[in-house]
């Protein structure tokens, strides 16, 4: 498990550029093939995961939960919220948008809303995020994403009660548990 406590981080990558990279790096045949090759080799996976950790830590304050929400949170990490809230802000946000627990820092969800809205993506914040799988801390979320394993992390808020259940265990996603490459 992670040893670094959650602290709100302000992304160092602009929202527009982040969404551009998202389009460039979306799962495709070639990327899927490459990520499968990386996963197949223990060393390649360790190196790749380490590079992801360093990059995302510097850019987003990533804590390697392994189930990345950034694409639908304006590229602001919700795991930096001291309550690790993945479905929006708590009720304690200061009138100036400050975090209740770290008043000198901005609430990640206030920042997420501003960034998503600035790029016409405010509707992303309506998605319902399922509970995360704590066994996946330390895994590469990029490899999980490219392999299609992250598809059940959130669902569209349909407004009725018919959408799938909250469990990632019971959905159709492949959740074969693999040992962590780098201890989180």
Partner 1 sequence: MSLRDRLASGGFAVTAEISPPRGADTGPIKATAAQLRDWVDAVNVTDNQGSNVRLASWAGSLAAMAAGLEPVMQMTCRDRNRIALQSDLLGASALGIRNVLVMTGDHPKFGDHPEAKPVFDLDSVQLLWTLRHMRDQGAVLSGRPLNPPPDCFLGAVENPFAPPAAFRAERLAKKVAAGAQFVQTQFVFDTGAFGRWMAQVRDLGLHERCYILAGVGAVRSRRALDFMRDKVPGVQVPDDVYRRLRGVPADQTAAEGARLAAETIQQLAAIDGVAGVHLLVAGNEQAVPGILDGAGVRVDRDGR
Closer of 38 and 107 to partner 1 (Cβ): 107
Closer of 109 and 142 to partner 1 (Cβ): 109
Shortest Cβ 125–partner 1 spacing (Å): 6
Q: How far is the C-alpha of 41 from the C-alpha of 141, rounded, in Å?
A: 17
- 5 CB neighbour count, 10 Å cutoff: 9
Contact 137, 1 (CB under 8 A): yes
Contacts of 148 (CB under 8 A, 6+ apart): 27, 32, 174
Shortest Cβ 57–partner 1 spacing (Å): 21
Shortest Cβ 100–partner 1 spacing (Å): 5
Sign of the Cα torsion 92, 97, 99, 104 reads negative
Give the footprint of partner 1 on this chain (CB under 8 A).
Answer: 82-97, 100-101, 107, 109-110, 113-114, 117, 122, 125-126, 128-131, 134, 157-159, 161, 163, 165-167, 169-170
CA angle 35, 54, 28 (to 5 degrees): 25
Shortest Cβ 115–partner 1 spacing (Å): 11
Shortest Cβ 58–partner 1 spacing (Å): 25
Q: Tokens standing for 71?
A: 């694409």
- 116 CB neighbour count, 10 Å cutoff: 21
Size (the chain), residues? 184
Closer of 40 and 96 to partner 1 (Cβ): 96
Closer of 99 and 143 to partner 1 (Cβ): 99
Closer of 82 and 184 to partner 1 (Cβ): 82
Q: How far is the C-alpha of 101 from the C-alpha of 151, rounded, in Å?
A: 32
């Amino acid at each position: 498990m992670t040893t670094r406590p959650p602290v709100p981080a302000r992304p160092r990558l602009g929202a527009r550029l982040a969404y551009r990279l998202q389009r460039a790096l979306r799962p495709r045949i070639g990327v899927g093939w490459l990520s499968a090759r990386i996963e197949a080799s223990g060393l390649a996976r360790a190196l790749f995961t380490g590079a992801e950790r360093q990059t995302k830590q510097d850019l987003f304050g990533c804590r390697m939960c392994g189930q990345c929400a950034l694409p639908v949170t304006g590229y602001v990490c919700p795991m930096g919220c001291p309550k690790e809230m993945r479905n929006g802000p708590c009720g304690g946000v200061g009138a100036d948008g400050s975090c209740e627990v770290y008043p000198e820092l901005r609430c990640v969800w206030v920042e997420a809303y501003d960034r998503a809205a600035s790029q016409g993506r405010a509707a992303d914040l309506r998605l319902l995020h399922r509970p995360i799988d704590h066994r996946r801390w330390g895994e590469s979320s990029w490899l999980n994403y490219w392999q299609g394993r992250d598809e059940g992390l959130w669902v569209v808020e349909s407004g009725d009660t018919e959408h799938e259940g909250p469990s990632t265990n019971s959905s159709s996603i492949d959740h074969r548990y693999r040992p962590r490459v780098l201890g989180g």
